[in-house]
């Protein structure tokens, strides 16, 4: 049985599954990494997670993530990193986040990630990049609880992100990018209406954990730069976003809105 020392949280998580509930609010240490310092500076941030009795981890998994550019010691705005963190949270796996300043990448980070990209996770003493590869590896190594999305449903909503970016970057109101996004959102609305509340039905699966962070970026970035929001004519999309965004795991792993805005600024202004 996995055990962990933790700090009391303001509200305890509850579950009907037989778990050992850990109401600490942080992995033991998160580390801010910059070239300006040759040493790692550990600090504690509060979070809470549930450790499954079947979890075989004796130590937290190390995960390299983007650091905030708007606030010290905070997670940055990468939706692919949040996908990985959501997977860890939903599988009740303890982890250590190492916050990496991507504008000032430390040498040790470039050695384990030659392309200098996040997310990056250490599994079986090997550093693994790419959210697709990481989430698949986590599913294979820690199959319970299962998060697999059936192949025939795995691509649902997959074009929303690219059409969102096209619309966000557009400077021509009549170029069709808004309609392209609305078409994808409408198709998703119809799918969730008939198959929801989540992509695989009643339970959250890997496809939701990939799409949710992208919709979060869509909501914040389009709201800020375009004064645009998902129309009321798509109630199932709006309900889906509300359900995903309100999950405890999502709240604990989301970026600050200010970071999302700053993260998309180069694409909007470019």
- Catalytic residue positions? 78
> What span, in angstroms and rounded, lies between the C-alpha atoms of 229 and 144?
36
Q: Answer yes or no: are the C-beta atoms of 164 and 189 closer than 8 Å.
A: no
Crossing angle of helices 257-269/206-225, nearest 10°?
Answer: 70
Angle, alpha carbons 130-222-135 (nearest 5°)? 20
Whose CA is closest to 92, among 27, 9, 149, 151? Answer: 27
Cβ-proximal residues to 22 (8 Å cutoff; 6+ apart), any chain: 4, 6, 48, 49, 50, 51
Angle, alpha carbons 255-257-253 (nearest 5°)? 20
> What span, in angstroms and rounded, lies between the C-alpha atoms of 3 and 53?
9
Exposure on the CB side of residue 17, measured as CA atoms within 13 A: 14
For residue 174, give the 3-state DSSP assignment: coil
Cβ neighbours around 109 below 10 Å, total = 22
Q: Answer yes or no: are the C-beta atoms of 98 and 30 closer than 8 Å.
A: yes
Four-residue CA torsion sign, 160, 149, 202, 252: negative
Angle, alpha carbons 1-97-90 (nearest 5°)? 50
């Amino acid at each position: 049985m996995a055990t962990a020392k933790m700090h009391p949280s303001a509200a305890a998580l509850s579950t009907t599954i037989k778990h050992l509930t850990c109401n600490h609010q942080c992995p033991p240490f998160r580390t801010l990494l910059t070239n300006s310092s040759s040493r790692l500076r550990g600090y504690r941030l509060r979070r809470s997670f549930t450790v499954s009795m079947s979890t075989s981890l004796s130590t937290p998994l190390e995960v390299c993530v983007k650091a905030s550019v708007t606030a010290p010691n905070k997670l940055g705005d990468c939706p692919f990193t949040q996908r990985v963190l959501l997977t860890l949270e939903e599988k009740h796996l303890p982890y250590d986040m190492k916050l990496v300043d991507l504008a000032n990448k430390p040498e040790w980070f470039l050695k384990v990630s030659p392309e200098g990209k996040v997310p990056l996770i250490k599994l079986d003493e090997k550093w693994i990049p790419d959210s697709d590869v990481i989430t698949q590896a986590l599913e294979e190594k820690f199959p319970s609880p299962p998060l697999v999305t059936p192949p025939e449903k795995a691509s649902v909503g997959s074009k929303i992100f690219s059409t969102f970016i096209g619309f966000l970057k557009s400077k021509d109101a009549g170029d069709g990018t808004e309609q392209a996004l609305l078409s994808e959102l409408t198709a998703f609305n119809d799918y969730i209406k008939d198959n929801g509340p989540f992509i695989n039905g009643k339970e959250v699966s890997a496809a939701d954990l990939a799409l949710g962070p992208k919709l979060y970026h869509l909501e914040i970035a389009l709201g800020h730069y375009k004064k645009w929001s998902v129309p009321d004519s798509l109630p199932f999309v709006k309900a889906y976003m509300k359900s995903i965004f309100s999950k405890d795991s999502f709240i604990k792993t989301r970026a600050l809105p200010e970071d999302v805005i700053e993260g998309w600024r180069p694409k909007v202004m470019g």
